[in-house]
Amino acid sequence: MYENLFKPLRLRNTVLKNRIESAPVALSNLTPQSYFTPENIAVFEGKAKGGAAIVNMGESRIDLKTGISHWLTLALDDKEVLPSLIMATDAIKRHNAIPAVEILHPGGRTNPEYYDGTIWAPSDAPGHLGKPYTALDEETIQYIVKCFADAAEMAELGGVEMVMIHGGHGWLLHEFLSPLNNRRTDKYGGCLENRARVPLMVVDAIRERCPDLLIEYRLSGSELVKGGLTIEDQVEFAKLLDGKVDLLNITAATFHYPETNQHMIPNTFHPFGVNVEYAEKIKAAMKQTAVGVVGGIDDFEKADELLAQGKVDMIAVARSLIADPNMPNKLLYGCPEDVTPCIRCNNCISESFVPYVKYSSRLVRCSVNPISGREYTAKDVRPAKTPKKVLVIGGGPAGMQAAISLADRGHRVVLAEKSDTLGGAIRFAQYVDFKAKLESFRKVLIHRVESRDIEVMLNTEMTPELAKSLAPDAIVAALGSDPIVPNIPGVELDNVVPAVGMHDQLEKIGKNVVVVGGGLVGCEEAIFLARRGCKVTVIDLKPEFCRDAPYLHHEAVLIEMEKLGVTTYANTRCVEILPDGIVVEVGGEQRKLNADTVLMAAGMTPKMEEAEAFRSITKEFWKIGDCKKVRNVRLAIHEGYDAGSYIE
């Protein structure tokens, strides 16, 4: 199984141990000088130890003088970067992996917030952040080409064995190639060969300066914008790169058109492998250069098939290795059922997706991997000094994760769940196609519980009396939350269905549905119902919908709602529920919205008092998940991991 994923691949004089590449994920919690920290290095080492053949350490700057897009990215234009870079590449190499970095010049994507100079681009144009672009002159072009070579040399001196030249997504080299950004009439504009001149100059300069360094080139198979680069254009450009670079990395889209962001970082509504069609066409045109693909490659049986069919040579993944850095080794050694799946919530990217978010957290945190962003501190978790009997109350994601982490450290764990199934609030995912990865995650958690020495008590509603009779040394309360029932006249009518548990009573839902509550739950259930053919309207008191979702998922949900024709009313209050609809108040005026069914998604309230009833039973008591505060699966998993890791 997965035999093609684990076939070696030769790139010139280097043999990669498998076909899995850890795609660049930019870390921005570097030192103020833009050097790597021990925390950063722990991230890279985790991916290398987990079995990826190539570990790309992410975006690196090549020249502070002519433009930067993000404030803290690896400073390859500073010789003082070498100590931390060498430590990072050493950490990757000691696990039999190839260290790589991504080098780029932002061009017109330079951010004036971090840079006070000229915003250089192929052509004069209004700037996307307010400061106009200035067309590059010959001298500055030559200078930037040299900076690419200087950066590659610095990387090689620091132990890097492969550089990825980022020529996609709207960065400078992409801008030269794109007719949307390049309107020059000199030798750098016009026909494809002219527009490709600067990218090829960069490749040649790096090859001349660093003849032994592997070169990977990232390009967008399509800009996905009318008048922009097409796959036909990019096949011809790839032919110009054939034999000059060792590996192509095929992605798509451009930051210059934010509507393409959702394809660039495929959301939960996208299918597997959104860029495979582009990679396959480019691969067919190559005679020497290997071709890899990135973008929603999160089904590894399908990925193995792509390799078997010769559609690509390399599989690049980013979020899947955030969710589970050990994924390659788990597949290699026959444990696919234990791979933590990426659920495509895009929390990992959204927290630092500037300039679209106001503040950057500078951290990569994951909803399903509680160690992500905290790899360096994970070493502090030790086996229990004195194994305790720990009662975990509640079998949702927080409770299951707590039980797993406790058992791994040697504690004796009893996990009590009042229903007949583990999963808690995420059980709904089994009914929703675009939540298939969340359902896979639920099954992984259940598998981990079942494969450990954990006593599971299903159909057991825990009481303080029962808890005392079990004589635990510590209690972890993960009781969850209850739906809020708003004080609205008519809320008790038969046509009102709570969003929580909706999928168990779909027969009660009519064709015309009004959803009261425009948070993440209400909006996602609106999408589910609209996909089933319902006419759906969503109302909310707030001015914006789905604001409790990570930025990129928030955008994805709104786009999907619009695509499906879901009607929305913001700043709207439900005044009364009627047998055939609801009365709402908008702008001081009342109106009726007809509906067969009113779906109540007014939020959840923590089972705080129920949880507090267990506090006095043991000296050590933890309250985690929704019974502490109603939030999301990420914080439930993190709190479960913390309780499981630090109960002594």
Do 141 and 258 lie in one domain? The reply is yes
10 Å CB burial of residue 264 (0-12, 13-18, 19+) is buried
Q: Stretch 122-148: mean pLDDT, rounded?
A: 96
Q: What pLDDT band is residue 380 in, cutting at 50, 70 and 90?
A: confident
Tokens 């950490």 appear where?
91
Reported as a pLDDT band with limits 50, 70 and 90, residue 382 is very high
Residues 58 and 151 in one domain: yes
* CATH number, domain containing residue 472: 3.40.50.720
Residue 171 tokens read as 């960065």
> Are 598 and 610 part of one and the same domain?
no
492, exposed or middle or buried, with CB in 10 Å at 0-12, 13-18, 19+?
exposed
Other residues' Cβ atoms within 10 Å of the Cβ of residue 450:
10
Classify residue 69: in a domain, yes or no.
yes
Domain boundary among 376, 411, 433: 376
- Considering the domain architecture, whether residues 592 and 611 belong to the same structural domain is answered as no
- In percent, the amount of the chain with pLDDT more than 90 equals 96
Show which of 376, 401, 433 is a domain's final residue: 376
pTM of the shown model? 0.96
Query: Is the same domain home to 372 and 389?
Result: no
Residue 358 has pLDDT above 90, yes or no: no
Q: Are residues 364 and 411 in the same domain?
A: no
Long-range contacts of 581-586 (CB under 8 A, 24+ apart): 581/514, 582/490, 582/514, 582/516, 582/539, 584/539
CA distance 479 to 121: 55
- CB 43, CB 375: distance < 8 Å: yes
570 domain-assigned? yes
Q: At residue 304, does pLDDT exceed 90?
A: yes
Q: What whole-number distance in Å separates Cα of residue 393 and Cα of residue 321?
A: 31
Are 337 and 367 within one domain?
A: yes
Pairing of strands 14-16, 9-11: antiparallel
In tens, the pLDDT along 271-290 reads: 999 999 999 999 999 999 99
Residue 190 lies in a domain: yes
Q: pLDDT at residue 356 above 90?
A: no
Segment 187-226, tens digit of pLDDT: 999 999 999 999 999 999 999 999 999 999 999 999 999 9
**Is 293 inside a domain boundary?**
yes
Confidence at residue 351, expressed as pLDDT on a 0 to 100 scale? 86
Q: Strands across the sheet with 572-578, in order? A: 572-578, 581-586, 589-594
The amino acid present at 283, given as its one-letter code, is: K
| Residue 462: inside a domain | yes
The SS3 assignment for 199 reads helix
Mean pLDDT of the 38-45 span: 97
Q: How far apart are CA 485 and CA 473, in angstroms?
A: 36
Q: Give the total number of structural domains in the chain.
A: 3
* CATH code of the domain in which 204 resides: 3.20.20.70
pLDDT of 242 > 90? The answer is yes
Q: Which CA distances in Å does 358 have to 94, 115, 157, 344, 519?
A: 39, 18, 36, 22, 20
User: In terms of domains, do 476 and 546 share one?
Assistant: no
pLDDT of residue 357: 86
pLDDT at 553 (0 to 100): 97
Identify the pLDDT of residue 161: 98
pLDDT at 337 over 90: yes
Could you tell me if residue 146 is inside a domain?
yes
Residues 360 and 429 in one domain: no
Last residue within a domain, chosen from 341, 376, 411: 376
Residues 131 and 80 in one domain: yes
Whichever domain contains 512, its CATH number is 3.50.50.60
The answer as to whether 490 is a domain residue is no
Q: Is residue 1 part of a domain?
A: no
- pLDDT band per the 50, 70, 90 thresholds, residue 63: very high
Residue 30 pLDDT class (50, 70, 90 cuts):
very high
In this structure, are 414 and 551 located in the same domain? no
SS3 state of residue 299: coil
Q: What is the pLDDT of residue 372?
A: 96
**Measured between alpha carbons, how far is 328 from 333 in angstroms, rounded to an integer?**
9
Q: What is the mean pLDDT of residues 156-176?
A: 98
Domain that holds residue 478: 382-483+606-646
- Return d(Cα 52, Cα 327) in angstroms, integer: 8
Mean pLDDT of the region 472-496: 97
What confidence score (pLDDT) does residue 638 get? 97
Q: Where are the beta strands (DSSP E) in 422-499?
A: 454-457, 474-477, 481-483, 496-498
Computed over every residue of the chain, the mean pLDDT equals: 97
**Is residue 354 pLDDT above 90, yes or no?**
no
Mark whether 40 and 138 lie in a shared domain: yes
